[in-house]
A and B are shown apart, each in its own frame.
Chain A
């Protein structure tokens, strides 16, 4: 295939050994997409049983973005997520049980129930928090990247956010700041077409809410297919390489779609007839499963991955159901660094 044709697909030889991604990585990415899908579907089922409490914001349909980026990371790279952060947390290898446990507000949860669904954090996995105030974590990711730059460390911070975030001030402050300071940070916009309940196109002056603003901050305009984990992985890899080489930040807009509403309270009735079905035809897991077959991976291998994931989600669910609620003695711990909450003598 001729180089330089921007609209053309890259040449992919249908031989796993010659592919730039390779069979091992592909199987990992498939497994992880299925794991996220099954875990979030389970979270939804558990919500219907009143076992997941509070709120939850699912990424059903958006799995390829989380997985493509996580696969391109190196150990030590840092993730900053939003309240829609289950996928990004699981994609870094955080155990399903820890995530479901937090959603179910059990003692075995990631933060023992002190954070909840919107604040998943696992520092040991590089998940430096999930942030529930829209846009807040973009400047925070800049700070982590500043530390890497100052220390001469090679880690890169990545920051995931929705299309709605592109209209809040912190987005613009962070983009400008990162660009001026040339920070090793990657801003990933998951454009799922809706800010919360309102179509992003109705409230945004440009067609591509992130990418069309990139030029304002001296950055390249990048829009990718967020339903194809391979496309995400390739874009992510390029951005990581650029950041590690001292090339500064990237802003990547991933076109995707969420199958469920904004949060558990939202039945998503505002969507036009047929839109959901049209996007489900481009389901990231369906696309990827077909890709695996295309690369000659046996159906039995794929089915084994799927069964294995389902078993692990079932096991995690049972562990969480059996887990006690948080012990009351954690109520006043870790307000301050001395472990306690004393504000006076």
Chain B
């Protein structure tokens, strides 16, 4: 067991899979010699050499297209898109090409690749380098979508993503890179499609993803100590496949549902889960489900403004407390 940053966990996860399988290759902008703009890939070039760890031009379409062509013909590429906001310039591959080739070809084509990307706010980068766009990927049939909240999950879910025969969009949260967590020694392989109950509780279920998980946990501690409200916190981890059994199982015990989402409000992942709960677990609910999200705004750059819009511990505590006392 060692303490590792989320950033170093990314490096270790990639290295673990590249060491295991020579067909795993890695490409992206500034990932090789520079070690990544977020320093998530330092040392990989030295360890695995220039044939497997490759710098690309600033050509996001070429990066994802090349990853797709390599995956179709036998490699297991990991492609980095530096900021998830840049999905917008290569969205053809994310929306039209990578997820649909298997279906359109009636199963002839395969596309086992991983797209890693820096997602989320907190760095004061403004509206084009701070978004949480996991819903952009979640809405597309044929993709799998994961977003780890801690170093152990980074390694385990990355390994699962690389070994998965389907394309996986892997959202790393930029504001988690410096956070630390305990990580076991040796190989770590997790399972896609599994949510994780990170705090047990009786009074309410709080669903959270990525950066919102530590905030939901902190809120749960305060709700317990200051208000006597005992919350269960579920780290959703995987949006596709979605672990509805764990989510609805928790709801069946607590009878109240909250989502904490960093994305702007419309069509956030929580909306889909609330819709599932309304459809399948309506009579388990003792009150209306509540979505705690960023308002439907572009993200502002200034710290004081950005902090106003992201869900905070205070806001989570306040919304849960008011809902349960209503």
Binding site for B on A (CB under 8 A): 78, 110-112, 114-115, 119, 121-123, 128-129, 131, 133, 136-148, 150-151, 157, 169-170, 173-174, 176-177, 180-181, 330, 333-339, 341-345
Which of A119, A137, A146 is the one whose CB lies under 8 Å from B105? Answer: A119
Once bound together, how far apart are the Cα atoms of A133 and B100, in whole Å?
12
Once bound together, how far apart are the Cα atoms of A174 and B92, in whole Å?
14
Which of A143, A148, A345 is the one whose CB lies under 8 Å from B65? Answer: A143
Once bound together, how far apart are the Cα atoms of A142 and B62, in whole Å?
8
B51 at the interface (CB under 8 A from A): yes
Known contacts A133-B96, A334-B102; is-contact A143 B69 (Cβ 8 Å)? yes
Minimum C-beta distance from A208 to chain B (A)? 23
5 contacts between A and B (CB under 8 A): A129-B72, A129-B109, A169-B61, A177-B62, A344-B276
Let me know if B66 and A143 touch, CB within 8 A.
Answer: yes
Let me know if B72 and A121 touch, CB within 8 A.
Answer: no
Minimum C-beta distance from B278 to chain A (A)? 15
Minimum C-beta distance from A16 to chain B (A)? 37
Main secondary structure on chain B at its contact with chain A? mixed
Once bound together, how far apart are the Cα atoms of A307 and B60, in whole Å?
50
Interface size class of B (residues with CB under 8 A): 35 or more
Q: Which residue of B lies closest to A332 (CB)?
A: B103
B5 at the interface (CB under 8 A from A): no
Known contacts A133-B97, A143-B66, A150-B51; is-contact A333 B107 (Cβ 8 Å)? yes
Contacts of A145 in B (CB 8 A): 69
Let me know if B57 and A143 touch, CB within 8 A.
Answer: no
Once bound together, how far apart are the Cα atoms of A330 and B242, in whole Å?
23
Let me know if B62 and A174 touch, CB within 8 A.
Answer: yes
Let me know if B69 and A139 touch, CB within 8 A.
Answer: yes
Contacts of A143 in B (CB 8 A): 65-73, 77
Residue interface bits B81-92, CB-to-A below 8 A is 1, else 0:
000000000001
Which of A131, A136, A147, A345 is the one whose CB lies under 8 Å from B70? Answer: A147
Known contacts A78-B73, A174-B62, A336-B166; is-contact A342 B241 (Cβ 8 Å)? yes
Let me know if A146 and B244 touch, CB within 8 A.
Answer: no
B184 at the interface (CB under 8 A from A): no
Contacts of B241 in A (CB 8 A): 342-345
Once bound together, how far apart are the Cα atoms of A129 and B103, in whole Å?
12
Once bound together, how far apart are the Cα atoms of A143 and B102, in whole Å?
17
Minimum C-beta distance from A308 to chain B (A)? 29
Let me know if A337 and B166 touch, CB within 8 A.
Answer: yes
Known contacts A114-B106, A129-B109, A180-B57; is-contact A142 B65 (Cβ 8 Å)? yes
Let me know if B97 and A131 touch, CB within 8 A.
Answer: yes
B193 at the interface (CB under 8 A from A): yes
Let me know if A144 and B69 touch, CB within 8 A.
Answer: yes
Minimum C-beta distance from A33 to chain B (A)? 26
Given A128-B72, A150-B75, A157-B69, 18 additional A-B pairs, CB 8 A: A78-B73, A110-B106, A111-B105, A114-B105, A121-B104, A123-B108, A128-B73, A143-B66, A143-B72, A144-B73, A146-B75, A169-B61, A170-B65, A176-B59, A334-B103, A335-B142, A337-B164, A343-B242
